C-alpha cells in the first residue's frame, strides 16, 4: 500500500487540507502518517482510521520511506529537508504549499482545472515535485481560464484586494484585534443615539493613529484602512506578490508566448477571500456575450454574476464566498478605452482554491497515476 506522509497538517493551509480530505473521503487506499516539528509522539488529526502518533518532520530516514510527502509546513522546512532527501536518492513524490520550489525547472505548479495536461505530461516525463501556486494567481486563473483557453488575452492587469489570511494565522487574529480595539473605543458613542458620525470618526482615527493600536504583524492598521504593499521589493519596483503574477501565470499555463500580467497588490480587511479587478486587453474585438460564455465555460466552479447591483451585493463579495469553492466573476463590461478592453471582478476563497484544494486534487491525481 502507498505510504503518504503529511507535514504541516495543523497550520492554516494544512488544516483546511485535512478538512477537505475528510469531506471528500480522501483518506482511503493509502497509509497516512503525520509528522510534526513541535510535538513528536502527539496525536494526529481525525482521519476516520487508526493512525500512529506524530513523527519527527526532520527525521530523514523516516521520511525516506514514503512514496508521497505532502507538506504545508512552509519554505524553511522544505529548504532544509528536500535537498537532503534528493541527495539521499529519494525517489518519491513531493507535494508542497510553500513557494520554495515553485520556480524550479524540475517542479510543476498545480492547478488541475487549468493545467491538467501540464500535470499529466509532467507525470509521464518523470517530474516528481508538485507545488501549489500563489493564491492570487491561482484564483485569477480559475476565474479567467476560459479566456486563456481561447487565447483571447493579449495582456492582463490585476488590481487585488487581498484578505488577511494570505499573510498567516497571526495576521488574521491581528485584524480581529484591530476591529476589537476600534469597537472598544467607539462603543459608548455608538450606543448614544445623539452622537454624530464625525464624533465617531474622530475616535476611530485617534485609535488607528495611537501607538497602542495592535500592528505588530501587519506593521500598519488594516481594519478601517488598507495596505498597498504585500511581501518584499523587487528590482523592478514591483512587490514580490506582484512579480508572481507574470512569473507563475506563464509557468502554470506553460505558454510558448508569455502573456504580460501586472498590477498592484493591496491588503484589505477581508478575512479569507481575495478579490481582484481585472483590466484585460483582448487579442481582438469579441462580443461581450461570447466572452461571458467563454468565462463560464472555463471550469465548473466559475459562476457569472450579472452586472447588476442586487446580484453583485449578494454574490460577488468575500462575505458571500468565504468557505466555498465557487469563483464568481462579475462586473463584466467593455471599457471606454475601446472594444478590445474588458473589465471584470472576481472573488475566491484563498485557503481553498488559493492553497489547499489544488494540493488535495494533485495528491489524488498522483495516487491514481501510481495505481
Touching ligand NAP, residues 78-107 (CB under 6 A):
97-98
Cα of 228 vs its chain's centroid, Å: 18
358 binds ligand NAP (CB under 6 A): no
The mark string for 17-36 relative to ligand NAP (x by CB under 6 A, - otherwise) is: -------------------x
Q: Considering the rule CB under 6 A, would residue 225 count as an interface residue with ligand NAP?
A: no
Report yes or no: 368 and 2 within 8 Å, Cβ to Cβ: no
How distant, in Å, are the alpha carbons of 99, 272, 273, 347, 351 from that of 322? 24, 6, 6, 9, 9
Contact 364, 2 (CB under 8 A): no
Min dist CB 61 to ligand NAP, Å, is: 18
| Residue where the block lists cell 488598507 | 226
CA angle 259, 261, 135 (to 5 degrees): 115
Q: Is there a contact between 98 and 78 (Cβ–Cβ < 8 Å)?
A: yes
> Which residue in 5, 113, 122, 166 binds ligand NAP (CB under 6 A)?
166
User: Contact region for ligand NAP (CB under 6 A) — 11-19, 114-122, 183-191, 309-317?
Assistant: 11-19
Stretch that binds ligand NAP, among 110-118, 174-182, 190-198, 350-358 (CB under 6 A): 350-358
Task: Quote the CA–CA distance of 268 and 278 in Å, as a whole number.
Answer: 17
352 binds ligand NAP (CB under 6 A): no
- Residue number, 8 or 122, with CB nearest to ligand NAP: 8
Q: Are 152 and 196 in contact (CB under 8 A)?
A: no
Q: What one-character DSSP code corresponds to residue 353?
A: I
- Looking at 20, 55, 73, 363, which residue binds ligand NAP (CB under 6 A)? 73
Q: Does 37 bind ligand NAP (CB under 6 A)?
A: yes
- Residue carrying the nine cell digits 507535514: 7
Binding site for ligand NAP (CB under 6 A): 8, 10-14, 36-38, 57, 72-75, 97-98, 132, 135, 165-166, 168-169, 350-351, 354-355
Amino acid at each position: 500500500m502507498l505510504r503518504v506522509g503529511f507535514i504541516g497538517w495543523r497550520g492554516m493551509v494544512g488544516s483546511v487540507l485535512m478538512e477537505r480530505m475528510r469531506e471528500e473521503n480522501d483518506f482511503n487506499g493509502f497509509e497516512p502518517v503525520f509528522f510534526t516539528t513541535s510535538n513528536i509522539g502527539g496525536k494526529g488529526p481525525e482521519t476516520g482510521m487508526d493512525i500512529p502518533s506524530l513523527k519527527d518532520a526532520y527525521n530523514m530516514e523516516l521520511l525516506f520511506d514514503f512514496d508521497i510527502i505532502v507538506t504545508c509546513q512552509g519554505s524553511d522546512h522544505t529548504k532544509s529537508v528536500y535537498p537532503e532527501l534528493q541527495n539521499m536518492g529519494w525517489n518519491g513524490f513531493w507535494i508542497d504549499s510553500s513557494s520554495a520550489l515553485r520556480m524550479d525547472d524540475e517542479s510543476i505548479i498545480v492547478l488541475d482545472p487549468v493545467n491538467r495536461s501540464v500535470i499529466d505530461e509532467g507525470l509521464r516525463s518523470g517530474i516528481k515535485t508538485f507545488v501549489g501556486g500563489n493564491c492570487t494567481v491561482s484564483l485569477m486563473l480559475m476565474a479567467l481560464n476560459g479566456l486563456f483557453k481561447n487565447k483571447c488575452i493579449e495582456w492582463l492587469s490585476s488590481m487585488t484586494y487581498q484578505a488577511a489570511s494570505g499573510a498567516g494565522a497571526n495576521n488574521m487574529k491581528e485584524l480581529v484585534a484591530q476591529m476589537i480595539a476600534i469597537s472598544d473605543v467607539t462603543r459608548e458613542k455608538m450606543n448614544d443615539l445623539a452622537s454624530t458620525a464625525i464624533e465617531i470618526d474622530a475616535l476611530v482615527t485617534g485609535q488607528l493613529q495611537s501607538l497602542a493600536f495592535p500592528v505588530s504583524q501587519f506593521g500598519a492598521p488594516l481594519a478601517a484602512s488598507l495596505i498597498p504593499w504585500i511581501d518584499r521589493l523587487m528590482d523592478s519596483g514591483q512587490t514580490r506578490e506582484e512579480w508572481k503574477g507574470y512569473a507563475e501565470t506563464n509557468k502554470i499555463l506553460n505558454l510558448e508566448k508569455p502573456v504580460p500580467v501586472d498590477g498592484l497588490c493591496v491588503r484589505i480587511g477581508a478575512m479569507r477571500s481575495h478579490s481582484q479587478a481585472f483590466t484585460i486587453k483582448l487579442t481582438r474585438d469579441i462580443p461581450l456575450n461570447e466572452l461571458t460564455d467563454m468565462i463560464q465555460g472555463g471550469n465548473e466552479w466559475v459562476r457569472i454574476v450579472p452586472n447588476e447591483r442586487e446580484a453583485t451585493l449578494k454574490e460577488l463579495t468575500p462575505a458571500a464566498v468565504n468557505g466555498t469553492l465557487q469563483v464568481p466573476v462579475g462586473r463584466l463590461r467593455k471599457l471606454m478605452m475601446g472594444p478590445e478592453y474588458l473589465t471584470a471582478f472576481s472573488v475566491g476563497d484563498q485557503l481553498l482554491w488559493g492553497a489547499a484544494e489544488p494540493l488535495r486534487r494533485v495528491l489524488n491525481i498522483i495516487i491514481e497515476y501510481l495505481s
